[in-house]
Amino acid sequence: MQINSPTSNPQILRQPWFWLGIGLSLICFWLAARSVSFVELKESLSSARYVWLLPAVLTVILSILTRARRWVLLLDKRDHLLDSFWSQSLGFLFTNIFPLRLGEPARVLAMSRRCKLPVMQVAASAVVERLFDAASNVLVLLVLLPWLQVPAAVSRAGMSLAALCLAGFGVLLLLVRFDRYSETLIKFIFRRFPLFPVEKLLMRWKELVVGFVPLTRWRTALQVSLWSLLTWTLIIGTYWCVLRAFRPDGLLVEAAFMMVTLSFAVAIPSSPGFVGIFQLAGQQALMLPFGAKYDATNAFAITLAAHMVYYIPTTLLGLIGLWRLGESLLNFGRGLKMAQQPSKVS
Within a domain: residue 344? no
CA distance 256 to 137: 9
Residue type, 55: P
Would you say residue 2 lies in a domain? no
From residue 205, how far is each of 183, 250, 294 by CA, in Å? 8, 48, 49
pLDDT at 340: 43
pLDDT at site 337: 59
Q: Which of 236, 211, 235, 238 is nearest to 131 (CA)?
A: 211
pLDDT at site 8: 46
**What is the separation, in whole angstroms, between the first and last Cα of the chain?**
22
Contacts of 171 (CB under 8 A, 6+ apart): none
Share of the chain above pLDDT 90, in %: 51
Count of CB atoms within 10 A of residue 90's CB?
A: 26
| Least confident span in 49-53, 126-130, 323-327, 341-345 | 341-345
Residue 345 forms part of a structural domain: no
Count of positions (residues) in the chain: 346
Distance CA 272, CA 307 (A): 12
| Residue 10 identity (one-letter amino acid) | P
**pTM given for the model:** 0.86
Is position 41 within any domain?
yes
Domain assignment present for residue 16? The answer is no
CB 117 within 8 A of CB 75: yes
Domain assignment present for 14:
no
pLDDT of 255 higher than 50: yes
Cα(280)–Cα(282) distance, rounded to whole angstroms?
Answer: 6
Number of domains the chain is built from: 1
CA distance 31 to 10: 31
| Structural domain span for residue 82 | 25-337
Is residue 279, in this structure, part of any structural domain at all? yes
Phi, psi of 153 (to 5 degrees): -60, -35
Checking if the pLDDT of 314 tops 70, the result is yes
Question: Is the residue at 4 inside a domain?
Answer: no
Residues of the chain with pLDDT > 70: what percent?
A: 83
pLDDT beyond 90 at 329: no
Residue 324 pLDDT exceeds 80: yes
